[in-house]
Structure 1
Amino acid sequence: MPTVIAATSVDLVLPPTDQQTPTAAVLQSPDTQPLDAALTEMHVLLEQHGYVVVVYPSSVSPALEQRMFAVRAMLESDRIALLRSDLPPLGTAVLVRQLRQLSICDFSAGVVASASRLLTHYIYAGAVLNSVTKLDRVPVSLKSHAKSWVPGSQFAVLAGPNPQLIKIGQTAGVLGGPEFGTQLLVAKGQLQTDWVSGTLAPAWQVQGLQEAALPSDSARWWGTGKLVEFAAFLPDISVLYQLVASVRRVKCHWCSMELIGDRCGFCSSPLPQPENQTHATGVLNQGASASSRP
């Protein structure tokens, strides 16, 4: 019985990578679903799957976030993980899909939930923007703010794993990218530019480029609707599997769930410092020869 992955909007549920990748449950906002219906829906998910791992962006409405915590408290369940993602919406959607892929592997629910923190470090999420004047989720200098008032300006911004910002057209460089094989997902907003496909993709030596619909929350996250959002990610489930499997598993000292890394995905309790583990080095250099999906 695989752990079910849940998201807070339908546009965070990307098409599956193969016929085995399950879909995600989509939780409704308080505006469209009364509390008793939300309780019933979550109860059904728990009965059907045993554990529910909810991934939601930091830009989600406070009302929906409060609703999810209220549902978990009222059900008195320790089988619901609520994972807040600081990635931009498209990057969060990629994370949701990767957890969907891992949910049917031979990992426990605790490992799947805690793997979200590990996988976030391997998702290069950013956007091309026409302005950074309202961008408050990535460090922006006063000089960049001033430049954004110049008509026709465009900026390339990387939100994670290492925040970066460059002005397109006035620099010979590009954003620092991954040093391992990735595919690039692109979602176009109201900005006309081919910089992502024409400049960024070749510079990052991506293995493929795919298009997706722009998530509804992207304009609010980036501070403008004139953007092209992108996310580079590990596409191969065998590499994802080996990456997660390479980290030592321990039991949470608080809730006894199995976990990897430094924090439990279910109760959020940090691992005692001497036990903190980092992922094994060299995993991504071993390529697609890693163990396939169980």
Structure 2
Amino acid sequence: MTSADLVLPPTDQQTPTAAVFQSPATQPLDAALTEMHVLLEQHGHVIVVYPSSVPPALEQRMYAVRAMLESDRIALLKSDLPPLGIAVLVRQLRQLSICDFSAGVVASAARLLAHYIYAGAVLNSVTKLDRVAVSLKSHAKSWVPGSQFAVLAGPTPQLLKIGQNSTPLSGPEFGTQLLLAKGQLQTDWVTGTLAPAWQVQGLQEAALPSDSPRWWGTGKLVEFAAFLPDISVLYQLVASVRRAKCHWCAMELIGDRCGFCSSPLPEPENQSPATGVLNQGTPAHPRS
């Protein structure tokens, strides 16, 4: 991880914690190299998950460390999920890391699991929101005092103005728990309206990630993420996907792209492209 506040508490005693890759402003290059070398020696492989919103200098540092160590055992996974969604994704990967999956499968599973995380926020304004498509009409409404908006960043972007007759955001069609992180906004819409509409099976609270106000364009927000909490369900989900070997680095993978070298999986000759969850549409999963 690239921030300590994206490391959620473990779900059980078996779930390992995560290391934090520090920025160039707080850690010299030689220290970063030493730390990564130690992690590789201890664990064999390192999977770094980071948001697409990280400063360029931090992303450049990560690639520099991997290049200088000349290691093909470091996966750098950039995610477009908002901060709380990334924190959920990292915890799920931590859960899977103790299963009988190879490092390549765990790394490439990040793209699969992201489709099953419903990450959004309630905002007081969308005027500075540039990571989710917002109409000019919604921008105009955000200038009205007291306006609040419910925004879903993924898996399918949605936006609505909260009002007396507002329809809840379209949510998961499978059993989830809801993680909630409160910013500087007073609202009970998530717990009073969204959670019942999505039929969530549990509600947890977490501290608001420090990068959330910048990601959402305002500090007056309540961020949320609905996710699959059961490790057995996550295991079955990943195990059900066909595995292949990367033709470039020979790592095992699922889906259509290697998690370690980012090389795409070649299409078999005379075969139509895959139509699985990593390739198109919103995934379907039975409600438990």
Identity %: 86
Say whether the 8 Å CA contact 1:243–1:283 is kept in structure 2.
no
Would you say 1:132 and 2:111 are equivalent positions? no
CA distance in structure 1 between the aligned counterparts of 2:208 and 2:187, rounded to whole angstroms: 15
Would you say 1:22 and 2:22 are equivalent positions? no
Would you say 1:48 and 2:49 are equivalent positions? no
Would you say 1:273 and 2:274 are equivalent positions? no
CA distance in structure 2 between the aligned counterparts of 1:58 and 1:154, rounded to whole angstroms: 26
Instruction: Give the 3-state SS of the residue equivalent to 1:262 in structure 2.
Output: coil
Would you say 1:249 and 2:243 are equivalent positions? yes
Would you say 1:35 and 2:29 are equivalent positions? yes
What corresponds to 2:61 in structure 1? 67
Say whether the 8 Å CA contact 1:129–1:227 is kept in structure 2.
yes
Report the CA distance between 1:272 and its aligned residue.
1.2
Say whether the 8 Å CA contact 1:95–1:119 is kept in structure 2.
yes
CA distance in structure 2 between the aligned counterparts of 1:199 and 1:170, rounded to whole angstroms: 11
Q: RMSD value over aligned CA atoms?
A: 1.7
Q: In the alignment, which of 174, 177, 189 is matched to residue 195 of structure 1? A: 189
After TM superposition, list the pairs within 5 Å mapping 1:1-294 onto structure 2.
7-169=1-163, 171-274=165-268, 277=274, 278=276, 284-285=285-286, 287=288
Instruction: Give the 3-state SS of the residue equivalent to 2:205 in structure 1.
Output: strand
CA distance in structure 2 between the aligned counterparts of 1:171 and 1:148, rounded to whole angstroms: 17
Say whether the 8 Å CA contact 1:132–1:223 is kept in structure 2.
yes
Report the CA distance between 1:242 and its aligned residue.
0.2
CA distance in structure 2 between the aligned counterparts of 1:255 and 1:271, rounded to whole angstroms: 11
Instruction: Give the 3-state SS of the residue equivalent to 2:84 in structure 1.
Output: helix
Say whether the 8 Å CA contact 1:239–1:284 is kept in structure 2.
no
Count of aligned residue pairs for this structure pair: 281
What corresponds to 1:290 in structure 2? none
Report the CA distance between 1:213 and its aligned residue.
0.2
Instruction: Give the 3-state SS of the residue equivalent to 2:151 in structure 1.
Output: strand
* Unaligned stretches of 5+ residues in structure 1: 1-6, 288-294
Say whether the 8 Å CA contact 1:243–1:284 is kept in structure 2.
no
- Aligned partner letter, 1:240: L
Report the CA distance between 1:134 and its aligned residue.
0.4
Report the CA distance between 1:90 and its aligned residue.
0.1
CA distance in structure 2 between the aligned counterparts of 1:256 and 1:102, rounded to whole angstroms: 21
* Unaligned stretches of 5+ residues in structure 2: none
Going from structure 1 to structure 2, the CA distance change for 1:113 and 1:211 (only over 3 Å counts) comes to: same
CA distance in structure 2 between the aligned counterparts of 1:283 and 1:137, rounded to whole angstroms: 25
- Aligned partner letter, 2:253: L
CA distance in structure 1 between the aligned counterparts of 2:200 and 2:59, rounded to whole angstroms: 35
Going from structure 1 to structure 2, the CA distance change for 1:79 and 1:43 (only over 3 Å counts) comes to: same
User: Under a length normalisation based on structure 1, what TM-score does the superposition of the two structures give?
Assistant: 0.93
